[in-house]
Amino acid sequence: MNIVLIIVVLVLDGLFLNRRGGNPTFWRAASQHPERAMQWFCAEACWTIVRPGEPPPSSSNYTPGFSVFDPQTGGMVKGYCVSDQIEASQARFLRSLQNY
């Protein structure tokens, strides 16, 4: 029963990410390299990191928030990206990992 529930959650999560413009390859890499991902989010002007209790960006130009693990605090934060820049930013991050 637990395995079926996990599979259903993973499938729905994958569909949800694709529908929201997320790149599963990017998010998998970000979860495997959380410190590099957080550095990336903070260095890229198109990303905004929102900590618990903070309001999300007020502009409608941002993607919906993606939950991201912050290794410095050990907690989850939300990552928002300017909608028309997310694909390019994700591609740059994946290329940066090839040189890592």
CA distance 18 to 5: 20
Tell me: the pLDDT tens digits for 50-82? 999 999 998 889 999 999 999 999 999 999 999
What phi and psi values does residue 10 have, to the nearest 5 degrees? -65, -40
DSSP 13-42: HHHHHHHTT--HHHHHHHHHSHHHHHHHHH
pTM, to two decimals: 0.74
Q: What are the tens digits of pLDDT across the range 8-57?
A: 444 445 545 444 457 899 999 999 999 999 999 999 999 999 999 999 99
| Domains in the chain: boundaries | 23-98
